[in-house]
Structures are given as structure tokens and as C-alpha cells.
Structure 1
Amino acid sequence: MAENKTKETTASVAEFLNSVPDETKRTDSFKLVQIMEDQTGLKAKMWGPAIVGFGSGHYKYASGREGDMPLVAFSPRKAEISLYLMQEPVEKEKLLASFGKYKAGKGCIYIKKLQDVDEGVLREMITATVSYVKSKYGAVS
């Protein structure tokens, strides 16, 4: 079975974020660290070369594939910021209705800048994600 490529590393979150070329994305990324740390009570850590994650949970699918993942995470990509927020689908749709400007992918939400979204709703989404992941996968750290 293939090994999960995205693992927690010891790389510096600040160094990574300071290397983001776009000033708005860089500023938004530092703000996201603050928001996610506030909502989760967990410190930011690098997951792979480009994902900033908070906490860790172990998942196991019916197929037998298993691994570790951050509870919540984001990545400042070239075109937009990817938010990794796993939620119960009905709750997710309810929150997204008042979130602001975004695009939804299969496993993430894409935003251009924090100014485009409602910070209060983002905070609710982060809290909902932590609750959902804990209920779905059990113990997390």
C-alpha cells in the first residue's frame, strides 16, 4: 500500500510563510495561523513542504489505507489559498452559504484573500472541523 506523502515535519512555519512571494497571501497566511491557533489551541506545524497544519489525527479507511493528517490546515498556493477543513456535509453547506467568495474542491476550499470571506464564519468552520474529525476518527492531538 502506498505511503502517505504529506507528513508532519520539523521545518519552520515562519520561514515557509516568509518565502510566499505574494505580499497579500503572505500577510493572510500569518493571519490564518493566528486564527487557526486561536480556534484549535494548537501550534502551527509544517506538513510536507507547503501545508501548514494544526494538530494531528489518525484515519483509517474501509479500504485499509490509513495515515495521519492535520486536524485543520491551509496552504498558500500560487493562485489561491487552500483551506483544508473537513466537516459534516450539511453543516459545511450551511456555513459556506454565508462564508463569502470561495471555490469548493473535493477536499478543500479555495479563497483568493481573507478579505473576501467572513472571519466569524471561518472560525465556526474551524471549530466544526475539529469536532467532526474527533467524532469521526477518535483521539487526536
Structure 2
Amino acid sequence: MRSSPSSPTGARTRSRTPAPSSRTCWHGRTSRPARPALAAVLADGTLIGSVAVWVDSAAHRRGEFGYVFHPRHWGRGYATEAAEMLLDIGFRTLGLHRVTATCHPDNVGSWRVLEKAGMTREARMRDHKLARGTWRDSLLYSAIDPTA
């Protein structure tokens, strides 16, 4: 378990992949390109969420990320910090050109996180996911490698 020295929130993670960089605890190459990089997010030793980034298409250098945090820890910057770090992993560690994320249209907090992380809203995807027997829409966000 490592703390990110640059972390304003002081969150710590426990990761399935080693963290070779002292700059952040989220970095680590996976042994296979399509295998997700996963981390549990801890604050003061308590599990408060989890995050993941994965490769959708190695040939097209495309990936996606997701996160979930316990509601008691919303509004404290953890999700924004995680989204920024996941984009960094996607671009710098996994070599992706394009990274996407989705959220429910009513989840204002989540789409604000994605926008604060520098992602652009591309679309509202109608009937994108079947949740508890009901079709629901999703908002699609993306970011392109800034060094490309």
C-alpha cells in the first residue's frame, strides 16, 4: 500500500499491479495489455471505493475506466483525483490514444468529475444499459492523449 505524495486528499490505494513510480500509487504495467489495472481506494485505513482502467482495443489503442466510491466520501475530491490518475495510467502506462468513461445522466456529481478531469461529453447513449430490468441511458465522455 502506498500513498500518493501529490495527493491533496491523502488517499491510499492497494493495487494488483506494482507501483514503479513514487509520483503516484496507481501506476503499474499489467502483464497483458487487455488486463485491467485495479486499485482499492483507502482513506485512513478504510476502504472507500475502487477504480479500474482497461484496454477495449489494443489495435486501436482505446480504453475505458470506471470508479465507485461510498456515498459518505462523495464531494471530497477522491473521484476527481482518481479520474485524473486513471487517464494518466491509460495514456502514459498503457499507451492508449483514447480513453472513455460513462455515467448516468442524472448523476451530476459523476459527470462533473469527468469534466473536471478534462474529458469531453460526446453523446447521450439511449437505452445503453439494462439495470434491474430497466433500460437506462448513459452519457459518454472521452479524452484523447494530449501528447498525440
Normalising by structure 2, we get a TM-score of 0.28
Higher helix share: 1
Considering Cα pairs closer than 8 Å and 6+ residues apart, tell me whether 1 or 2 has the greater RCO. Answer: 1
